[in-house]
Structure formats: structure tokens, C-alpha cells
A = this chain, B = another copy of it.
Amino acid sequence: MGTTKSEVFSEEINDLSSLFKAFGHPARIAIIQFLRTQEKCICTDLVKELPLAQPTISQHLKELKNAGIIQGSVSGTSICYCLNLEKISELDAFLASLKYDQNPTCC
């Protein structure tokens, strides 16, 4: 008990749910929104922008990177992060499929 029973679900389902899970935290949504509106990517700006400690932000960035939602490229002493639109499109495609397949006589 206590553990998610990932073994019993398909890889596709597990991949999708991991991707959604990565979006499922306010700090990570805030990071994504900041990445969206900034001219330049970022780095330590997030630490100034968000009311969270640096290790906490670093941890959330890591999770977003592991999920493939953001990419980071080293630029001297700092790291420039940006959104990975391909991953975002995967979720988009899933949500779109829910809409098109829907049976209109249901409920």
C-alpha cells in the first residue's frame, strides 16, 4: 500500500500521467508562466520572482526538466531555461482527443 500501482497500467498511460503531474504544482505553473512571458529565458530571476528558497526552485526546475517540459542550456555561469513545445503538444493532443471522441448523448 501507499505506492501508485504503475505496473498495472500501460506505458502510454503512465507517461501521460507523469506529464500532467509535473504541471500539478503551483510553483511549477508559476515557473512555466514566467518562462512564457520573459523575453530572455531565466536562471536566478526565478529566485527573485517567486517567494521560495533557491533549493526549492532548483528542485522544481529539475522535475520540469525530467518531465521534458523545459530545456536548459548552459550559458557561462548561469543556465537558460525554456519551454519544450513538443512535450506540451503531447498533452494538447490528449486533451483534444477527449473532446472529439465524446459521445454527445452521454449524461
Hey, which bits of chain A sit against chain B, CB under 8 A? 4-6, 8-9, 13-14, 16-18, 20-30, 32-33, 36-41, 50-52, 71, 73, 80-83, 85, 88-89, 91-92, 95-99, 101-103, 106-107
A24–B20 contact, CB under 8 A? yes
Determine the chain B residues whose CB is within 8 A of the CB of A101 once the complex forms.
36-37
Let me know if B106 and A99 touch, CB within 8 A: no
Contact between chains at A17 and B13 (CB < 8 Å)? no
A28 to B62 alpha-carbon distance, docked (Å): 25
* Contact of A4 with B17 at beta-carbon distance under 8 Å, contacts A89-B99, A95-B95, A98-B83 already known: no
Q: Which residue of B lies closest to A85 (CB)?
A: B99
A107 near B88: Cβ-Cβ < 8 Å: no
Contact A20 B14 (CB under 8 A): no
